[in-house]
Amino acid sequence: MSTRATVLYDAPGPRAVRINRILTVIVSLALIALLASVLWALGNKGQLDGDKWNIFTKGSSWTTYIIPGLWATVKAAVLSIILALIVGAVLGIGRLSTHRSIRWICSIIVEVFRSYGGLVILSALLFAGNNAVGYMTTGGYIQGMTTRPIEEGGFGYNPVHVQLAVLGAAAVWFLSTLISGWLCDIFGRKAILLIGFAITLVTVVFLFEAAKNGPLGIFMGTGLVSIGLGFTYGPQAVMYAETFPAHIRFSGVAISYAIGAILGGAFAPTIAQSLLSSTGTTWSIVIYLGVMTLVGAAATALLRERRDVPLSIEAEEDGTWAAWRGDKVDPSPAPVR
């Protein structure tokens, strides 16, 4: 069965298939090593002791917490379905409205999610992947954790010294963003983004351990992470512009960015603090950030490379945008749907 190119991704050739298999093995080994290190750290902290897990063997735990929680999830899902039906009906009726402004707004929303919903979700996950890690560095979480008094669970560092360390990391982020923006014009958007996610995945492991060594350690930890963050930020603007066709580019990029900011950034500090409070170790936060980084990398890998594609409406109308592969037109493109 042959594989054809689609709007979302290019059909992989033999070389790409080999590379994907090699990357799968490397990432799998990295995840296994990360999981083993986290389990080792949790074990040393006594988090894997039997008395901390025997709650699952008590009937009251199931009747009081677990089963009610599952039932609440089912109710939330049913409510979401009902709301989705209502919103869909309103948008459908809105497209038939005699008022141009209502018809125009409803048509844009329907067009973006109906025809390009996959691109919106992947683009949102791309941004969420690096945004979550970004909130841990210059977003304020590291500063809050390291400047809180020791008796309140913090490190008790001098706030001025911490801010200067993070300022230095922000400068590294800025420079790596500029460099990655230049490199993505040479090696492609996806390649640089994936390199950035790989750097982030490796360096985030040492983020909190480095922070335990004072402001200099904070600079080293956040600075190394900022290199990867810069490489995932630099190509984003042009990647987004080239991902969506001209007639829905503004809406597609705006919606993707907003969803990604909510999924990756808005809840990141709350999730991190909750994990720290429940597990007592920053390694749980590392797992969370590692998962988010892998989500961003996976979304990037699934998006199609359209480097240097013409961005005009004419290029979309004559089929150039849909047929673009890498930095040229595919002589035998898949049909536009």
Kindly write down the DSSP assignment for every residue of 115-133, as one continuous string.
HHHHHHHHHHHHHHHHHHH
- The CATH number covering residue 300 comes to 1.20.1250.20
- Closest by CA position to 212, among listed 141, 145, 280: 145
Show Cβ contacts of residue 150 under 8 Å, excluding neighbours closer than 6 positions. 156
* Max avg pLDDT among 54-58, 280-284, 315-319: 280-284
- The answer on pLDDT for 335 being more than 70 is no
Cα–Cα distance measured from residue 73 to residue 65, given in angstroms and rounded to the nearest whole number: 12
Over residues 32-77, the pLDDT tens digits come to: 988 888 888 888 878 888 777 887 788 787 888 788 888 888 888 8
Q: What is the pLDDT, as a whole number, of residue 223?
A: 93
- The answer on pLDDT for 336 being more than 60 is no
Q: Is residue 122 part of a domain?
A: yes
Contact between 295 and 125 (Cβ < 8 Å):
yes
DSSP annotation of 1 reads -
What would the two tokens of residue 54 be? Answer: 């025997």
Q: Is residue 85 part of a domain?
A: no
Q: What is the pLDDT, as a whole number, of residue 330?
A: 56
Residue range(s) defining the domain that contains residue 205: 116-305
What would the two tokens of residue 81 be? Answer: 């379905």
Domain total in the chain: 1
Contact between 175 and 223 (Cβ < 8 Å):
no
Q: What is the pLDDT, as a whole number, of residue 177?
A: 94
Cα–Cα distance measured from residue 222 to residue 35, given in angstroms and rounded to the nearest whole number: 22
**Where do we find the tokens 């810069």?**
230
- The answer on pLDDT for 170 being more than 80 is yes
Q: What is the pLDDT, as a whole number, of residue 218?
A: 92
Over residues 213-225, the pLDDT tens digits come to: 999 999 999 999 9
Show Cβ contacts of residue 8 under 8 Å, excluding neighbours closer than 6 positions. 118, 119, 122, 302, 303, 304
Measure the CA angle with vertex 51, ends 47 and 56; round to 5°.
Answer: 100
Q: Average pLDDT for residues 193-197, to the nearest whole number? A: 94
- The answer on pLDDT for 293 being more than 90 is yes
Cα–Cα distance measured from residue 138 to residue 230, given in angstroms and rounded to the nearest whole number: 12
Over residues 221-266, the pLDDT tens digits come to: 999 999 999 999 999 988 888 888 888 788 888 888 888 888 887 7
Q: Is residue 195 part of a domain?
A: yes
Q: What is the pLDDT, as a whole number, of residue 266?
A: 78
Q: What is the pLDDT, as a whole number, of residue 150?
A: 84
Q: Is residue 124 part of a domain?
A: yes
Q: Is residue 152 part of a domain?
A: yes
Over residues 79-129, the pLDDT tens digits come to: 888 988 888 788 888 878 888 888 888 777 776 666 677 788 888 899 998
Q: What is the pLDDT, as a whole number, of residue 1?
A: 42
Q: Residue 328 forms beta bridges with which residues? A: 325
Show Cβ contacts of residue 135 under 8 Å, excluding neighbours closer than 6 positions. 141, 264, 265, 268, 269
CA gyration radius for the chain?
23
Q: Is residue 74 part of a domain?
A: no
Q: What is the pLDDT, as a whole number, of residue 334?
A: 44
Q: Is residue 129 part of a domain?
A: yes
Contact between 192 and 235 (Cβ < 8 Å):
yes
- The answer on pLDDT for 5 being more than 60 is no
- Top pLDDT among 242 and 8 is at 242
Q: How far is CA 274 from CA 10, 265, 280, in A?
A: 40, 15, 10
Q: What is the pLDDT, as a whole number, of residue 75?
A: 87
DSSP H or E segment with residue 102: helix 100-136
Tell the burial category of 259 from Cβ atoms under 10 Å away from its Cβ (0-12, 13-18, 19+).
Answer: middle
Cα–Cα distance measured from residue 221 to residue 119, given in angstroms and rounded to the nearest whole number: 33
Q: Average pLDDT for residues 270-277, to the nearest whole number? A: 86
Over residues 117-169, the pLDDT tens digits come to: 778 888 889 999 888 998 888 778 888 888 888 887 788 899 999 999 999 99
Q: What is the pLDDT, as a whole number, of residue 329?
A: 57
Show Cβ contacts of residue 87 under 8 Å, excluding neighbours closer than 6 positions. none
Contact between 318 and 329 (Cβ < 8 Å):
no
What would the two tokens of residue 231 be? Answer: 């490489």
Assign 4 a pLDDT band (cuts: 50, 70, 90). Answer: low
Q: What is the pLDDT, as a whole number, of residue 273?
A: 85
Cα–Cα distance measured from residue 304 to residue 98, given in angstroms and rounded to the nearest whole number: 38
Q: Is residue 54 part of a domain?
A: no
